[in-house]
Structure 1
Amino acid sequence: MGPQRIVCMTEEPTETLYLLGEQDRIVGISGFTVRPARARREKPKVSAFTSAKIDRILDLKPDMVIGFSDIQADIAADLIRAGVEVWISNHRSVDGIIDYIRRLGALVGAGHRAADLATTLERRLADIRARAATLPRRPKVYFEEWDEPQISAIQWVSELVGIAGGDDIFPERAVMSLGRDRILADPLEAARRQPDIIIGSWCGKKFQPTHVAARPGWEDVPAVRNGELHEVKSPLILQPGPAALTDGIDALEAIIQGWAHRQA
């Protein structure tokens, strides 16, 4: 049976449970949830990312609350003290996302469906990787999560860039799970690495390519010189769930394949 009344404090458990046909277990969601769109119409919104309406969550009488990362640790602690069972996942890689889907499915008694979904996603990634292998050259990619200060890509995003055919210019930073550890203190550090493509995904606000292109000292960056500045909407790529492995990587692949076509 598993938990019957689940509150999802981030989007990825909501999207996953809907994909598994287990949405009736969800009694509350994050206000930042956009996938699937129907969840916003069907479920009460009881949390943000760094805050939550604890009393409202308790009123829903959940038998499990699901969240993500150390950033929600204080919310989790308050709920645990109130007697609620809490699962905080902390996966940061593509393999971690696949494993998360399997674990969440098993938790709600949908292990077989979750395994099928995970396998489908793995095959999809393999197909994209195979297409990327035919590129005559792999572009250097700067993925920016935030602009002031500049923050480079988290691990699963860096890995997806690689699967789609590009090379993240900050692979050494991608393994750092906390955003503060991926801050570029030197505003010219990304420019010096001469990315062929710049991808912006500024969480919560629209990417402004003209602002990036106008940064002092960036005029000779290949991506700026050739107009290769693109946006991937943050709900597609910055949630460690199914969206990143479907629409998120599709957007990355389209950008990289488009660049390759223009280079040819």
Structure 2
Amino acid sequence: MCRLVLMVCFPPRRIVCLTEETVETLYLLGEQHRIVGVSGYAVRPPEVRRDKPRVAAFTSADIPKILALTPDLVLTFSDLQAGIAADLIRAGLAVHAFNQRDIAGILAMVRTVGALVGAASRAEALAQGYEARLAAISAAAAGRRRPKVYFEEWDEPLISGIGWVSELIAISGGEDVFADRARQHAARDRIVSADAVATAAPDVILASWCGKKVAVDRIRQRTGWATIPAVRNGRIVEIKSSMILQPGPAALTDGLDAIVAALRETG
């Protein structure tokens, strides 16, 4: 009965976030006091690792631990957490599943999270700030040479960048060599061959392997890649996955800044 009472309160008092971008958004809105459980991947802001209990990885979650926290709202992300969401719904919890895969979706997520916690005006101001920042960076890059960029999301197999990453490359003044694949939501649909990368001849290689450190030397030593401009000129840059592979504020700030810096160094 208590759980049912909690479920209908507005704004929700006890929120579990199963991915990191909603955690960061709630902190930025000053609503972090509502968070009672987070993903183990949540690292922004740094204090979240100290202040909030971890209840999930990404495709797995400790359902009994989540239920023990008596949340009145659980925030999930994508089809990869559909099974977790279904288990929580069957247990009687309220669940909101986000599925943003591009910049417009990220901004909508920020606004939606704000609306869910009764902070719509603050969320709107935050989103408008990001929009202005994106526009300013895009304007600053206009008219410059657009280096060709290969973004590597995974190494075995090679997986190219998802939608928001490709858009951020374009905003930064680059040309994503696999922009056509970026519209594909599933990683398996963004698999590319080593030969295709070599043929694309990127000027810059940006790499962010989710959950593990990028091995730049291994990239450099791949068969047939010695003539790729990025390899030949030493333009292989790692971007931390926590900055660029979560579709939220981090990607629009630190992730974007990392791309801008990498392209600027290309000249």
Give the RMSD, CA atoms, in angstroms. Answer: 0.7
Q: Are 1:112 and 2:91 matched, yes or no? A: no
TM-score, normalising length: structure 1:
0.96
1:190 aligns with 197
C-alpha distance in 2, partners of 1:227/1:182?
25
- 2:236 matched to 1:229? yes
**How far apart, CA to CA, are the structure 2 residues paired with 1:95 and 1:165?**
19
Does residue 194 of structure 2 align to residue 181 of structure 1?
no
Partner of 1:87: 96
Match of 1:139 among 137, 147, 167: 147
- 1:170 and 2:178 are equivalent in the alignment: yes
Instruction: Output the CA distance in 2 between the equivalents of 1:40 and 1:206.
Output: 20
Q: Out of 140, 143, 160, which is 1:152 matched to? A: 160
TM-score by length of 2: 0.95
State the AA in 1 paired with 2:37: G
Amino acid at match of 1:177: H
- Does 1:240 find its partner at 2:244? no
Q: Which residue of 2 aligns with 1:204?
A: 211
2:61 corresponds, among 52, 62, 65, to 52
Are 1:255 and 2:233 counterparts? no
**Equivalent residue for 2:70?**
61
**Structure 1 position 121 matched with structure 2 position 154:** no
Q: CA deviation at 1:208?
A: 1.4
Residue 174 of structure 1 aligns to a residue whose secondary structure is coil
- Give the whole-Å Cα distance in 2 for the aligned partners of 1:146 and 1:213: 15
Extract unaligned runs of 5+ from structure 2.
1-9
Distance 2:94 2:186 in 1: 25
Measure, in 2, the Cα distance between the counterparts of 1:39 and 1:233: 18
Give, in whole Å, the separation in 2 of the partners of 1:196 and 1:95: 27
For structure 1, the residue ranges without an aligned partner over 5 or more in a row are none
Equivalents in 2 of 1:3, 1:178: separation in Å?
Answer: 32
**Misfit runs of 4+, over 6 Å:** none
Write out per-residue CA displacement over residues 134-174 of structure 1, whole angstroms, 9 at most, x where no aligned residue: 42x10000000000110000000000000001010001110
Mapped to 1, the partners of 2:21 and 2:221 lie a distance apart of 35
Deviation at 1:189, TM superposition (A): 1.0
Displacement of 1:124 in angstroms is 0.6
| Partner Cα distance (2:217, 2:143) in 1 | 32
Q: What amino acid is the match of 2:243?
A: L
